[in-house]
Amino acid sequence: MALTVVLVRHGEAKGKKLGQTDFERELTSRGAAALEAAFPQTFAQVKPTQQSELWVSSAVRARQTAEIANKTLSIKNVREMDSLYDQDKEAFVDELSCTNADLVVVVGHIPFMEDACAMLTGTFLGFSTGAAAAIELGDSGRGKLLWFVSGPEA
C-alpha cells in the first residue's frame, strides 16, 4: 500500500524575545491569517481517511500551524513527534516505516522539511513558511513528488 506524506513548514513566526526559547515562539498574527486563507486551497487535493495521521513538532509555532491546517483536513489522529523538532531524519524514517496510516501530514521546520523532501524524492525544494509538498511513498521508501505549493505571502 502506498503512503502519501505531506510535508508542511510552519507559518511565519515571531522573533525570539528576551528569555524566550526557540521552542516557545508563536506564529505572527499576519502569518496565521495567511495560513488560514491559503490552506483550504493548499490542501484541496488531500483526502484524509480514518487511518490518516497529522504529525507535528512540539514547538508552539508548529502546533499552531497544525491546528490551522486541521481546520481544513479534520484529521482525528494528531501526534506530537520529537523527531520533527529534533530534526532527526533517521527517527522520522523509522516512524514512517512503522505507521499504518495511508496519509501522514507532517508539520515541522527548516531545514528538516527540505531535507526530508530531498531524502524521500531526490528533489530539493525550498520551503518558505507555509509551503507544502505531497509525496507518494512506495514500498521501497523512495517517493514520487505529487505536488508542491509555495507558502503564502504573510
> Are 3 and 132 spatial neighbours (Cβ–Cβ below 8 Å)?
no
Domain count, the chain: 1
Flag whether 130 is in a domain. yes
Flag whether 18 is in a domain. no
Domain that holds residue 41: 3-12+23-149
Flag whether 40 is in a domain. yes
Flag whether 120 is in a domain. yes
pLDDT tens, the chain, 154 aa long: 689 999 999 999 999 888 889 899 999 999 999 999 999 999 999 999 999 999 999 999 999 999 999 999 999 999 999 999 999 999 999 999 999 999 999 999 999 999 999 999 999 999 999 999 999 998 776 899 999 999 998 6
Flag whether 86 is in a domain. yes
Flag whether 55 is in a domain. yes
CATH number for position 143: 3.40.50.1240
Flag whether 17 is in a domain. no
pLDDT at 2: 84
Contact residues for 3 (Cβ-Cβ < 8 A; gap 6+) = 96, 99, 101, 102, 103, 104, 136, 137
